[in-house]
Structures are given as C-alpha cells and as structure tokens.
Amino acid sequence: MTAPAPPPAFLVVEDGREYIDRFTRLLGASFRFARAGSAAEATAALAVGGVAGVLLDLDFRRTPGEALIDEAGRAGLPPHERRRVAAVQGILIARALRRCAPAIPMLLFADLGDAEQIAFLEGELAPLRVVASSVGLNEIGGLLARIATGGAP
C-alpha cells in the first residue's frame, strides 16, 4: 500500500506572519505553506522546487531596507528609495520571480481600486490573480485547489 501524496505546497511571501499563520491554521488540512520574507528567500525556495504556487503580500514596510528590491530586481537601495519600493514590493518580487519561474501561478493579495491596473498586472505577470481583502477564505481555498490541480488562478 502506498502512502498518500502530501498536500500541495504554497510559498507565502510576506514581511510578517499574518498570511502564513492564517492559512496554516485555517487551510492547513488541505495545503502546506512555507514562508519567505524577501525576494532572495523566495527565489531560493522556488529553486528547491515542490511549490504549486506563490502567495504574495503587496506591502513590505517591515522588511529591512537592504532586503528590498527595485524594478530591476536590485537590492541595496538608497534610503530615499526604500519607502516607495516597500509599498509595492509584492509586485516587484512577482516580477523577479517570473525570471526564474515563468509559469508558476501567483496570487497577489492587494486592494487595488483601479481595474485597469489590476488587468495590467494580471496580464504582465500571468498566471497571476490579484485578490482583494474582501475575498473570503473559502474562495481563497478554491483558488489554491484550482492551482494545485494545474488550473490558472
């Protein structure tokens, strides 16, 4: 008799622990979650493999400045640039991850009020879906299940 396959794994990229703690507590029976706190950590985790998708926070204000990246994926930014890039770090990390994992599905948790901006990001970084804070846990679980079975987010 063979052992059952482990639940699909997702990489949670955030500057705190809110997402990973919530998802592990509430969705951990169906999925496994690992955390990365920066672009460098996320890239290293994807290099190991075994991840069905990436879940990204947008804002990384708590991240040390030396760990933030800019639009070109460079770290070590001058202090006057850190606030600007921290506010959109999740998008910048998604762009950096596209270079090493062009087809991995991603969910970006962000409240973006501009439908054109959302459409642009979802097109530029496909397969990516922007998920607003109003989206419930059941719907997020459904998105993860779809990704785990090879579907688009």
Alpha carbons 128 and 19: distance in angstroms, whole number: 18
Q: How high is the pLDDT of residue 5?
A: 82
The number of CA neighbours under 13 Å toward the Cβ of 20 is 16
Q: How high is the pLDDT of residue 113?
A: 87
Q: Is residue 48 one of the residues assigned to a domain? A: yes
- Three-state DSSP at 134 gives coil
Q: How high is the pLDDT of residue 2?
A: 79
**Burial group, residue 31, by CB count within 10 angstroms (0-12, 13-18, 19+):** buried
CA end-to-end distance (rounded Å), the chain = 33
Q: Is residue 153 one of the residues assigned to a domain? A: no
Q: How high is the pLDDT of residue 4?
A: 81
Alpha carbons 38 and 114: distance in angstroms, whole number: 26
**Burial group, residue 116, by CB count within 10 angstroms (0-12, 13-18, 19+):** exposed
The residues of the chain scoring below 50 in pLDDT are: none
Alpha carbons 90 and 53: distance in angstroms, whole number: 14
CATH of the domain at 87: 3.40.50.2300
Q: Domain range holding 78?
A: 9-148
Alpha carbons 19 and 31: distance in angstroms, whole number: 13
The full DSSP string for 49-69 is ---SEEEEES--TTS-GGG--
Q: Domains in the chain: how many in total?
A: 1
Q: Is residue 17 one of the residues assigned to a domain? A: yes
